[in-house]
Structure 1
Amino acid sequence: MAVGYVIMAIAMPGSLYVGSIVVGICYGVRIAVSVPTASELFGLKYYGLIYNILILNLPLGSFLFSGLLAGFLYDSQATRTAGGGNTCLGAHCYRLVFVVMAIACIIGFGLDVLLAFRTKTIYSKIYSSRRSKKTSSVSNGQ
C-alpha cells in the first residue's frame, strides 16, 4: 500500500490512477484477510467483537487521515481567493498527505512483521499439537 501512496506522491501523468488501483487492491485484500485472521488468532468465542475491533481502523483511519490530516494539509497549501475561500491547484496540494500515508503504511508493515515473529512459536505449538492428535487418533484406530 505504501508503494501506491508513493506513486501518487510522485504525481507523474497517470500516477493517480495507478496509485489508486494499488491502494484499492490492498484495501480489498486487507478486508478479505481480516476474517480468517480474527478467527485463527483469537478463536470463535468472541468472533463478532474481535472482528469489529479489527476493522474499526477503517472508519477511524478515514476520519483521522482524510478528514483531519488531509484537510489541514490542504488548507496549509491553499491560497486565499478573492471570494474568501481556499484553493490549491497542482500535485503539491496532497503530496505531503500521500507521504504521511506511505510512512504510516511502512510503520504498519513493520508492526505486522514484528507480530509474525512473535506469534511464530505459538503457531508451531498449535501445528505440533494438531499433528500429535492426528497421529494418536490414527494409531488408536488401528
Structure 2
Amino acid sequence: MLILFVSTFCGLGCSLTAVDNLGQIGESLGYPQRMISTFVSLVSIWNYFGRVFSGFVSEKLFLKWKIPRTLMMTFSLILPCIGDLLIAFPFPGSVYIASLLIGFSYGVQLTLLFIIISELFGLKYYSTLFNCGQLASPLGSYILNVRIVGKLYDREALKQLTRRGMTRSMVHELTCIGKDCYRLSFLILAGVNLFGALVSLILVMRTREYYRTDIYKRFRDEMEANEKEVMMMKTIDDASDKKQSS
C-alpha cells in the first residue's frame, strides 16, 4: 500500500498540478483565451476516455495474457512525462498534445488505483484504504503545485519585473510571460512522474505472480460464504418463527 501511495502521490499530484496551471501556461505562452478554454475542455474529455480505457483494456489484457494491472499503472505514469516535457520545451500547438496526454493518464491512474486496491487487499478494509489512496492526490497537488511550481513561477515573474526596472509593490499580481516561466517546474514534474513509474515497477514485480492466479476466486469464495451465512440466518429465523407460532 505504501508503494502504491508513493506512485499515486507522484502521478496524480503531477497531473493535478498541470491541470491547475493550464490557464497560466496558456497565458504565458501567448495563447488566446479561446484556446486556453479548449485546453481545459480537452483535459476533461480525455480524462473520461482514460477512465473508460483503463477499466476495459486492463481487464482484457489481464484475462487474455495475465498482464498485471499494476504494469498499466506504470505506463500511465510514463505517459504524462511526455506531456510535461512538451510544456517545458513548447512549440506551436504543443499544449494541445500535453493536455491530451495529461488528461488521459490522469483518468487511467485514478481508475486503476481503486481497482488495484480492491484486488490486492480485498473489500474488508476497502473504505479505509480507498481514502488513504485518495489522500495521495491532494497531498501531491499541494506540495508540487503550491510549494514547487507556484514558487518557481513567482521567482521567474520577479526576474522579469526586475529586468523592467519594477518592484513587487508596483504590480497587483505577478504575471510571467515566456517559455521560461514553467520550464524548470515541468522538468521537475517530469522527473517526479518518472520516479513514480520506477516505484510502481516494484509493485509490478511484487504482484506479477499474484496476477497469474485466479484473482477472482477470493471474491467468489467471499460471496459464497456470505450467501451461506444469509441462508443460515434465514433458517434460524424460520425455526424461531415456527416455535413462536406453536
Tell me: higher relative CO, structure 1 or 2? Use CA pairs within 8 A at least 6 residues apart: 2
- Distance in 2 (CA, whole Å) between partners of 1:53 and 1:17 is 32
Partner of 1:25: 104
Q: Give the Å deviation of 1:15.
A: 1.1
Q: SS of 1:20's equivalent?
A: helix
Residue deviations 1:72-115, cap 9 Å, x none?
A: 11122123335156432101011111111110010111111111
Whichever of the two has the greater Rg, that structure is 2
Partner in structure 2 of residue 6 of structure 1: 85
Alignment match, 2:155: 76
Q: Aligned pair 1:105/2:196, yes or no?
A: no
Displacement, 1:16?
1.5
**How far apart, CA to CA, are the structure 2 residues paired with 1:29 and 1:86?**
34
Q: How does 1:18-97 map to 2 (within 5 A)?
A: 18-79=97-158, 80=161, 81-82=166-167, 83-84=170-171, 86-97=174-185
> What number of residue pairs does the alignment pair up?
129
CA distance in 2, matches of 1:19, 1:30: 16
Amino acid in the other structure paired with 1:35: F
Q: Aligned with 1:87: secondary structure?
A: coil
**Offset, 1:55:** 2.0
For 1:19 and 1:122, locate their aligned partners in 2 and report how far apart those are by CA, in whole Å: 35
* Cα distance in structure 1, aligned partners of 2:195 and 2:208: 20
What amino acid does structure 2 have at the position aligned with 1:114? I
Listed one character per residue, the Cα deviations across residues 30-76 of structure 1 (whole Å, up to 9, x for unaligned) are 11111211100111001011011112121111111111111111122
Name the residue aligned to 2:214: 127
Q: Name the TM-score, length of structure 2 as normaliser.
A: 0.49
- Give the drift of 1:122: 3.5
Unmatched segments (≥5 aa) in structure 1: 131-142
Hey, what's the Cα distance between the residues in 2 that align with 1:121 and 1:12?
44
Q: Write out per-residue CA displacement over residues 116-139 of structure 1, whole angstroms, 9 at most, x where no aligned residue.
A: 112223444x439x5xxxxxxxxx
Distance in 1 between residues matched to 2:133 and 2:191, nearest whole Å:
20
SS of alignment partner, residue 182 of structure 2:
helix
Local SS of the residue matching 2:214:
helix
- Match of 1:127, SS? coil
